[in-house]
Amino acid sequence: MTTEQVAATINPWAVAQQQFDLAAEHLKLDPGIRQVLREPRRALTVTFPVKMDDGTVRVFTGYRVQHNLGRGPAKGGIRYHQDVSIDEVKALAMWMTWKCAVVGIPYGGGKGGVIVDPKKLSLKELEALTRRYTTEISVLIGPERDIPAPDVNTTPQIMAWMMDTYSMHAGYTVPGVVTGKPISLGGSEGRNEATARGCVYTVVAAAKHLGVDLTKTTAAVQGFGNAGSIAARLMRDEGSTVVAVSDTQGGIHKPTGLDIEKVLAWKQEHGTVVGFPGSTKITNGELLELDVDILIPAAYENQITAANAKNVKAKIIAEAANGPTTPEADEILAKKGVFMIPDILANAGGVTVSYFEWVQDLNRDHWSETVVNAKLKEIMDRSFGEVLAMSLLEEVNMRTAAYLVAVKRVADTTALRGLYP
């Protein structure tokens, strides 16, 4: 089976619960709190009609899940993809809870999605779908309740439509209802690069801890969308030689290093990185098994599994994507001595700068990119240090350590707040 076929057979919600159970067991969590944190607080399913350009009506299904609200409003992206499922959204919402907790920002976890291939919609149809979906989930969202953001196949323009729709219902402009907006509508400087920048900050910290000189390393990036393409550029800026990148069509490999700007220009023109002059075509699965020092999975869930983990040669893995490694693969990689920077830490830069955007919106303020990046670096470096310290103290791998830090923070909050009524 291909990497994609294996991924499709694994239930992300089962993976998320398994990861939580490992941490809960280690922390000896109170059984009641464990039950509370193991399930989402709310899961909303909506079906809604959209009038298409040809006059026909199509009915779409969407979701919004709030996993936990103990530490603050729910926070999490909206994805538009034909394979969205309720279990995927529940898993992503739970991961958001831990992600916000591991970097210490006052949010709970949420996530949303619509089952749709947005590439098959016109701009007008995409706007109509977005506005209707926003209306349907408006019973849950709000700047003090649940704040959506961009995710797979959603953009600052889509966030602008969501903000406008919510504001029209409220009767006044509410910029803080979503993050990841265009800067002219209350978006934050540095938000577009935040996920990748935060990820690369953790790679730099890991290299320092391991005594690795980044200028002598090679890197491969799976997924050449927003996070992956920017991560590739930032890794290059740190002195690493990026030898392979990929997208949904496949990957490209050049042992002497790729010119990232030229690859970006090629993708813009051809819609894929495949065919880039001077490179060899490889599959997404082959990219994961290349002989490189650093691997950045920046695509989808369940890419590194029990089936291919033994063939992974990278010494450092930084998960820019959510859930790219299964628990079984984690065990194999840990035994091989791979230094894993888990998703809830590695890609928390996006939600951290989303938090900065929300704070700026609530205060009607605007920070410079220099201020945003400095604050982001401070939080990512501190969080990496806390997770590393937990890993060394408890003699566990970095993923388990990140979960121990995050789950303990959420569990402590839950215990302090108590149960209502």
Query: Is 5's pLDDT higher than 80?
Result: no
The token pair that represents 378 in the structure block? 């401070």
Rounded to whole angstroms, the Cα distance separating 294 from 217 reads: 7
pLDDT given for residue 331 in this prediction: 94
What distance in Å separates the CA atoms of residue 129 and residue 62, rounded to the nearest whole number? 10
99: exposed, middle or buried (Cβ count in 10 Å: 0-12, 13-18, 19+)? buried
pLDDT for 300: 87
One-letter amino acid for residue 45 of the chain = T
Cβ neighbours of 127 (radius 10 Å): 18
Angstrom CA distances, 177 to 50, 124, 140, 245, 341, stand at 23, 22, 11, 34, 30
DSSP letters, 52-121, are: -TTS-EEEEEEEEEEEE-TTSSEEEEEEEETT--HHHHHHHHHHHHHHHHHTT-S-EEEEEEEE--GGGS
CA distances from 143 to 73, 146, 148, 284 (A): 8, 6, 9, 38
Structure tokens at 64: 């919004």
Helix/strand/coil percent split, the chain, to 5: 50, 20, 30
Residue 10 has pLDDT above 90, yes or no: no
Question: Quick count: other Cβ atoms within 10 Å of Cβ 66?
Answer: 26
> How far, in Å, CA of 129 to CA of 176, rounded?
21
The mean per-residue pLDDT over the stretch 25-46 comes to: 97
Q: Are 112 and 88 in contact (CB under 8 A)?
A: no
* pLDDT for residue 33: 96
pLDDT digits (tens, 9 = 90+) for 62-91: 999 999 999 999 999 999 999 999 999 999
Nearest to 16 by CA among 98, 77, 85, 79: 98
The span from the CA of 179 to the CA of 53, in Å, is 29
| pLDDT greater than 90 at residue 46 | yes
Cα separation values, 409 from 107, 249, 322, Å: 12, 40, 20
Active-site option among 75, 90, 99, 111: 111
Mean pLDDT confidence for 368-377: 98
Q: How far apart are CA 141 and CA 110, in angstroms?
A: 10
Fold matches, 40-176 and 194-346? yes
Write the pLDDT tens digit of every residue in 309-326.
999 999 999 999 989 999
Q: CATH number of the domain at 40-176, out of 3.40.920.10, 3.40.50.300, 1.10.357.10, 3.40.50.10860?
A: 3.40.50.10860
Whether residue 2 has pLDDT greater than 80: no
For 29-52, what is the mean pLDDT? 97
Alpha helices in 109-251 (DSSP H): 123-137, 156-170, 194-210, 226-237
Contacts of 36 (CB under 8 A, 6+ apart): 414
Which helix (H) or strand (E) segment is 24 a member of? helix 12-27
| The pLDDT of residue 8 is above 90 | no
Q: Say if residues 214 and 204 touch (Cβ distance below 8 Å).
A: yes
Domain ranges of the chain: 40-176, 194-346
Model confidence pLDDT, tens digit, residues 159-202: 999 999 999 999 999 999 999 999 999 999 999 999 999 999 99
Quote the mean pLDDT of the chain.
96
| Interatomic CA distance for residues 390 and 412, integer angstroms | 17
User: Locate tokens 């490189």: which residue?
Assistant: 292
Name the more confident of 93 and 2: 93
Nearest to 130 by CA among 160, 164, 155, 162: 162
Neighbouring CB atoms inside 10 A of 324's CB total 28
Q: Contact 177/141 with Cβ under 8 angstroms?
A: yes
Residue 1 has pLDDT above 90, yes or no: no
The overall pTM is greater than 0.85: yes
Contact present, 100 and 351 (Cβ < 8 Å): yes
From the options 3.40.50.720, 3.40.50.300, 3.20.20.220, 2.30.130.10, give the CATH code of 194-346. 3.40.50.720
Active site residue 119: no
Spatial separation of the C-alpha atoms in residues 265 and 39, rounded to whole Å: 44
What's the CA gap between 109 and 113, in Å, rounded?
Answer: 14
As a whole-number percent, the residues of the chain with pLDDT over 90 amount to: 95
Interval 281-291: pLDDT, tens: 999 999 999 99
